[in-house]
């Protein structure tokens, strides 16, 4: 009787320990979570009557966390506003903001993202390189 009680108690304790961990067991996103250093080249371009070109490179200490949905990642690469993406096969990022965007993990410590918004003679691009 005592032995069965001990077994049951041990199993419950092991389950509680594994559930209380920060990372979800057997989740592909675990390989990419944590603190990252992001270098972002920002370009803003407008061809209106005055014309406008702005370029800057920013380094930001950000994070990658779980998103709210299955396979979602929250990538905080610039100014604390996260980019929500879906992790596809082989580290490819999906569900980016526009069709002109792309991104993927080269490995568990390198990330490349190209983001582009705009139209009608104006656009903004973010070329993001992340390492940890």
pLDDT tens by residue, 21-72: 466 778 899 999 999 999 999 999 999 888 999 999 999 999 999 999 999 9
Q: Model confidence over 62-117: pLDDT tens digits? A: 999 999 999 999 999 998 889 999 999 999 999 999 999 999 999 999 999 999 99
Q: Domain count of the chain?
A: 1
Q: Report if residue 93 sits inside a domain.
A: yes
List, in order, residues 6 or more apart from 97 with CB less than 8 Å away: 83, 115, 117
In a domain, residue 76? The reply is: yes
In-domain check, residue 97: yes
- Whichever domain contains 54, its CATH number is 2.40.128
Query: What is the extent of the structural domain holding 116?
Result: 23-131
Residue 14 lies in a domain: no
pLDDT at 60: 97
pTM of the entire structure?
A: 0.79
């Amino acid at each position: 009787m005592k032995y069965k009680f001990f077994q049951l108690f041990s199993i419950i304790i092991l389950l509680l320990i594994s559930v209380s961990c920060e990372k979800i067991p057997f989740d592909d996103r675990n390989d990419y979570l944590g603190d990252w250093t992001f270098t972002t080249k920002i370009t803003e371009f407008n061809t209106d009557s005055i014309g406008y070109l702005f370029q800057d490179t920013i380094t930001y200490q950000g994070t990658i966390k779980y998103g709210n949905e299955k396979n979602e990642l929250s990538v905080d690469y610039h100014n604390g506003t996260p980019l929500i993406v879906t992790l596809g096969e082989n580290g490819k990022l999906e569900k980016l903001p526009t069709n002109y965007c792309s991104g993927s993990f080269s490995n568990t410590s390198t990330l490349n993202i190209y983001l582009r918004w705009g139209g009608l003679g104006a656009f903004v691009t973010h070329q993001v390189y992340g390492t940890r």
